A = this chain, B = another copy of it.
Amino acid sequence: MAKKTARKPAAKKYLDFHGRMVMVGFGSIGQGVLPLILRHINIKPEQITIITDDMRGGEKEAERFGIEYVEKRLTESNLRSTLDNRLGQGDFLVNLSVEVASTALIELCQKKGVLYLDTCIEPWPGGYSDPNLSVSRRSNYALRDTMLKLKQRHKGGTTAVVAHGANPGLVSHFTKQALVNLARDTGVKTPVPTTREGWGRLAQRLGVKVIHIAERDTQVSPKPKEVGEFVNTWSIDGFVSEGGQPAEMGWGTHEKTMPPDGKRHTFGCDAAIYLNRPGLLTQVRTWTPIEGPFHGFVITHNESISIADYLTVHDGKKVVYRPTVHYAYHPCDQAIISMHEIAGKNLKQQKRQRLIVDEVTSGRDELGVLLMGHKKGAYWYGSQIDIHEARSLVPYNNATSIQVVAPVLSGIVWALENPNEGIVEADEMDFRRNLEICMPYLGPVVGKYSDWTPLQGRGELFPEDLDKSDPWQFKNFRVV
């Protein structure tokens, strides 16, 4: 079932870009994507400026490529003055920071006709952890809702690609490809859908009840995690922030019961619910081809809501179909212990952090979408790139970052090719064009069927509250 693709990327230039490009943030993703941008877009180093709170060890790389950098912390009050004379009509703002509100940057770009891309909808500091905000307001659902309002206000504006990394981002394209493959393999004859409605109807027809973004990261550093240190393969600040947000999931029409701690929001599209607890303390059973079954964390992500929303089928005002969609994340082992440590301190973040890129000695990031409940049970479609292949493809990357920077590149290219689409999420973009650009950087991309269900091996030694009549109910997945 493995989908074979050309895995040697040619240094093909997708297009010429003559404007200015400002990159905000230069952490694991910024450092990882820079060589890719220079490789595949016809752009001169002088056209690029990095603005970042700190360089996170990226000075040498910037100097090697001849990129100017400004070490400055963007805030609500200095945002306009800092960016105003660096960006104008036709320029590009690539936002790869934490703690800078995406909506503030998008508004600025919409007003000035500047193209935009980010990999996550970030709030200003405190947006994730201000106890004066309700749990609902600290959710990604709320962040996305603000973005959707902005989208309404700026219809037909300059293209702003929102939340287009690996996940959120790439996994929306994986989902479409997986649906197409599933149709093929189950004998459902259909043209490739071209509308939101069409995709929803296809998912409905295939009987997809649940979609996990199922990820198992096995990368490891030979230097053990120390007490009081958070170790991860990508942004520690980003991970801790989203881990402290409520667990969230696009909420499927097949679900019979609301989780005891589940809540609906009182505003917005209503495609998702949240649990009254942090994702970092919320686990579900899931599955990937190499790892097999494992427990993953329901860390909230934009794609949980956007994919569920995108695939919703309406009959008039009535919702007749929607899959349950959420993240089921097994970060690298050293992050698992870091999470256990932080959980024990009521989520108070460790003072020290260590982002492992060069020091990773082995492991892979198995990241894909797991479509469940259809005729063939479960189908995982995604990337299984390992650290060695990732490194050989693009310098300054590990297996995790390369899965992010490939879609950052493809999103930039797509935005330049389609500059007047207004504010868009991954689901609204051309999945084929994006996959085409990403594929050379994803290592083995495979589709695998499995007879795994969350009921497998359950209730043998201890009584468990299971719904045996439908394996795909959320309560069967949940680890309690």
Contacts and interface: CB of A to CB of B under 8 A. Distances in A.
Interface string A331-342: 001101100110
Contact of A336 (B244, B246, B285, B340): B340
Contacts of A340: 295, 336
Contacts of A246: 462
Give the copy number. Answer: 2
A222 B222 CA distance: 6
A227 interface: yes
A123 to B, nearest CB: 15
A345 B462 contact: no
A80 interface: no
Contacts of A344: 285, 293-295, 330
Contact of A463 (B276, B281, B336, B460): B276
B294 A457 contact: no
Nearest to A286: B344
Contacts of A448: none
A152 interface: no
Nearest to A138: B461
A191 interface: no
A232 to B, nearest CB: 14
A292 B330 CA distance: 26
Contacts of A480: 480
B463 A333 contact: no
Nearest to A337: B333
Given A246-B462, A348-B457, A333 B225 contact: yes
A218 interface: yes
Interface string A217-239: 01011111101000000000000
Interface string A238-260: 00000010100000000000000
Contacts of A278: 461-462
A129 interface: yes
Nearest to A278: B462
Contacts of A224: 220-222, 224, 333-334
Interface string A452-480: 00001110111100000000000000011
A346 interface: yes
A35 B460 CA distance: 43
A191 B326 CA distance: 61
A347 interface: yes
A244 B293 contact: no
A225 B277 CA distance: 30
A346 B456 CA distance: 9
Interface in A275-290: 276-278, 281, 285
Given A281-B479, A345-B292, A218 B227 contact: yes
A337 B331 CA distance: 11
A316 interface: no
B129 A461 contact: yes
A135 interface: yes
Interface string A307-337: 0000000000000000000000010011011
A123 B417 CA distance: 70
A80 to B, nearest CB: 31
Contacts of A292: 345
A388 to B, nearest CB: 16
19 contacts: A129-B461, A138-B461, A221-B224, A222-B222, A222-B224, A225-B333, A244-B461, A246-B462, A278-B461, A294-B345, A333-B337, A336-B337, A337-B337, A343-B479, A346-B456, A346-B457, A346-B458, A346-B460, A347-B461
Given A222-B223, A224-B224, 17 more contacts: A131-B461, A138-B461, A221-B224, A222-B224, A224-B333, A227-B291, A246-B462, A276-B462, A278-B461, A285-B344, A292-B345, A294-B345, A295-B343, A330-B344, A336-B340, A348-B457, A480-B480
> Which A-B residue pairs are the 4 nearest by beta carbons?
A294-B344, A346-B457, A295-B344, A220-B224
